[in-house]
Structure 1
Amino acid sequence: MSRGFVKEDDQEEIPMVPPRADLPEGVTNYVTQVGMDELLIEKQKLINEREHLDISNEKESRIASNYINAKLQLLKNRIATAKIVDLNNQPKNIIRFGALVTLKIENKTAPEHYQIVGVDEADISKGKIAFISPIARLLINKKVGEKAVLKLAKEDRYFKIINIKY
């Protein structure tokens, strides 16, 4: 039957699914093993959530299921394109993907620690920054003792690399 002959109340809403973390077109989806494990756990949680939907209204159940399926599709695409970087193979004296970097930031007394990770794993509250972020791009290929300058609108921020660990 044509959609033109369906009552407006019978039409289901198409679920709006928020996009995953931005990964620019053509950029390889690098992940750490921890990041891949987190993606797989997220996938299993979504599958479990879909299987245990407890909604008695059939329309609401279909909408909830469609929403979960759309999130799963985005997640499956991200998993399929993921390239795990073995941190054991990274050079120990230079900052690359996966490095846990200790930085002395100008005007701050305590050093700060950041790990350069994939876009889905990035979480600044956990000290994890995406490899495509301006700070990570600035730090890549630097060595202990070197400095990096982040040019901001009102000032420059200086970072000194104190330690690199994988």
Structure 2
Amino acid sequence: MADQRMPITKSGLERLKQELKRLKAVERPKIVKEIAEARSHGDLSENAEYHAAKDKQSHLEGRLLQVEDWIARAEVIDVSKLKGDRVVFGATVTLADGDSGDEVRYQVVGELEADLKKGKISVTSPIARALIGKQEGDVAQVKSPGGQREYEIVSVEFVEEELSAGDEA
């Protein structure tokens, strides 16, 4: 799995790069400062501040390695160059709930950028798997914790979401 490519949108990759930059430029120097300050308090064997800061540093370095790995394995899919009427990775789909008729809108994205609150669902999620390959007017059967649900595909669009300033990881 270490060499497996991971599909991601341009904005998803940009978010990862912003997080990496923040971790290196802001978080890492902050922790180094905390360690130095705690070290100045003397005996390290019983210095809780020092051990807490070292623990924080360990978590940060792990996250840095993880984000760098994700960036290295990212396979950017330029959604703006996609077209067609079928649901594929990157598609933004408007669905009508078969029971209530309520409409919802989701973009099918990679696992790393999935965020239901922002309307981004993982390509591996049950709803995305039920939608892939279908087109406008088709009905998708989705198994949910509450039972079987039906969604009619109202529209399929390909729009690359721009990264807004306050949208950092």
Using the alignment, how far apart are the partners of 2:91 and 2:146 within structure 1? 29
Contact 1:87 1:98 in 2 (8 A): yes
Kindly report which structure 2 residues correspond to 1:53-72, keeping only aligned pairs within 5 A, or say none.
53=31, 54-55=33-34, 56-58=37-39, 59-60=50-51, 61-72=53-64
Structure 2 equivalent of residue 85 of structure 1 = 77
Secondary structure of the structure 1 residue equivalent to 2:85: coil
Instruction: State how many pairs are aligned.
Output: 143
Quick one: higher RCO (CA 8 Å, sep 6+), 1 or 2? 2
Kindly report which structure 2 residues correspond to 1:23-34, keeping only aligned pairs within 5 A, or say none.
28-34=5-11
Kindly report which structure 2 residues correspond to 1:17-166, keeping only aligned pairs within 5 A, or say none.
28-47=5-24, 48-53=26-31, 54-55=33-34, 56-58=37-39, 59-60=50-51, 61-152=53-144, 155-166=147-158
- Unmatched segments (≥5 aa) in structure 2: 40-49, 159-169
Q: Which has the higher helix share?
A: 2
Contact 1:105 1:159 in 2 (8 A): yes
- The TM-score, its normalising length taken from structure 1, stands at 0.78
Assess, with a 3 A threshold, how the Cα gap between structure 1 residues 153 and 41 changes in structure 2: closer, same or farther: closer
Assess, with a 3 A threshold, how the Cα gap between structure 1 residues 27 and 133 changes in structure 2: closer, same or farther: farther
- Unmatched segments (≥5 aa) in structure 1: 1-23
Using the alignment, how far apart are the partners of 1:63 and 1:111 within structure 2? 46
RMSD, aligned CA: 2.0
Report deviation, 1:25.
7.5
